[in-house]
Amino acid sequence: MCYDISFNVSIEFVTDYLPDIIVDPQISIEYETVLHLEAQVNLPFPVIVAYEGKRHLTPFIWGVSARGENMPSVWNAQSERILKDKHSYWYKIRHNRCLIPLTGIFEHREVKGWKKKVPYHVWLKGRKMFCVPGLYDAPNRHSNGLYTFTLITREANSLMRLIHNAGNDAFRMPLFLTKELELLWLKEDLTEAEMQTIFDYEFPAEKIEYDTVYTIRTNKPRPDGKGKLEHYTWEGLPPLGRDTNVLELF
């Protein structure tokens, strides 16, 4: 799944991306907060919604109450399940569609024999900003009165399978889209057939960029003094697809 996202540009990038968007005056972006946002921290994040024929950028909290108000929040929705069960929570809120503006995500790769997983920064080639589709719902006990959202994921493509290669939710990735499909997601009269077309889209592996970074879930400075998104060399790290640090002789 995806629990770590990044938005390392200003709000002006969103207004350039969608020139007709209306920006909620409540939005206040703290660069260090959204440079890396972890799902569980319950901090406001800018989300794009459409209603009354206009697009709006407004602060939401990541994590919906899919399992009940008194249960932990759910940060990801599997695209394969949204239309499958007509009695499910996801089907119930399928019309509450939103876009999550990002500049990248973070994912961890497991290497056999290593105690720690290796963090990767992942972004889309040639795009300073992009959007991942999501679903939103009412405020919950974690959201301080703000609406909540979940990020939609799908089965990983050939590249992301090599990076997100371990854990209970291995081999998943955000539902990366073309800009045309992103905008289609916000179409107010979107049909289920159009929705399924979006869910079926697999973003080409060759259009994804990636790099190894230092440990992301910490506020401690890097030992080399560089920023969170800058390259970090992990000595002895085998290439993608070889998840062992033991040399093969034959």
User: pLDDT of 218-236, one tens digit each?
Assistant: 878 888 999 999 999 999 9
> How high is the pLDDT of residue 248?
43
Secondary structure (DSSP) of 133-171: EEEEE---TTTTT--EEEEEEEE--TTHHHHS-SSTT-S
> How high is the pLDDT of residue 243?
85
The residue among 222, 233, 218, 157 whose CA lies nearest residue 4 is 218
> How high is the pLDDT of residue 31?
65
Return the CATH number of the domain spanning residue range 4-212. 3.90.1680.10
Q: Where are the domains of the chain?
A: 4-212
Is the separation of the CB atoms in 148 and 138 below 8 Å?
A: yes
How far apart, in Å, are the Cα atoms of 250 and each of 131, 236, 241, 243, 246?
A: 44, 19, 17, 17, 12
The residue among 76, 74, 3, 73 whose CA lies nearest residue 38 is 3
> How high is the pLDDT of residue 210?
98
pLDDT means per 10 residues in the chain (250 residues)? 92 94 86 85 95 94 94 96 96 98 97 95 97 97 95 98 95 98 97 98 98 89 91 96 61
Give 112's strand partners.
244
> How high is the pLDDT of residue 245?
60
Torsion sign, CA atoms 113, 163, 40, 152: negative
